[in-house]
Amino acid sequence: MTPEELIAALQQATAALNEATLEYAKCLKDEATAKNTYKLEYAKRYLTIGGTVAEREAQCLNALAKEYTDASLAEAFTKATKAALDRQYAELHTLQSIGATLRAEMQLQR
């Protein structure tokens, strides 16, 4: 890998990392919104239903299945996005290591 190729790869990896970071932030916001919506609706509904604790919980979960699913999916997307972000960090770190090795080789050739 030439120094020019390395610079181009580092620039591309940095841009991809920035994009992944923004996507992760969006997923965190979406997850928080979905979880809070579910919890708030659950609490509201729980207080209006009679019966045992188990009956109330079952009725709430049944009535809020969509909100529960949305919150679960948002959490899954956040985890997947975090894994992609971690991969981007690893790629950038690998390129930085290659750069350090390349620099050391160039210094030895002088």
pLDDT (tens digit per residue) in 39-67 = 999 999 999 999 999 999 999 999 999 99
Q: Residue range 19-48: average pLDDT?
A: 96
107: its two tokens: 């210094």
Does 109 score more than 90 pLDDT? no
**What is the residue-averaged pLDDT of the chain?**
94
Which residues 6+ apart lie within 8 Å of 62 measured at CB?
none
Does 110 score more than 80 pLDDT? no
Q: Residue range 6-22: average pLDDT?
A: 93
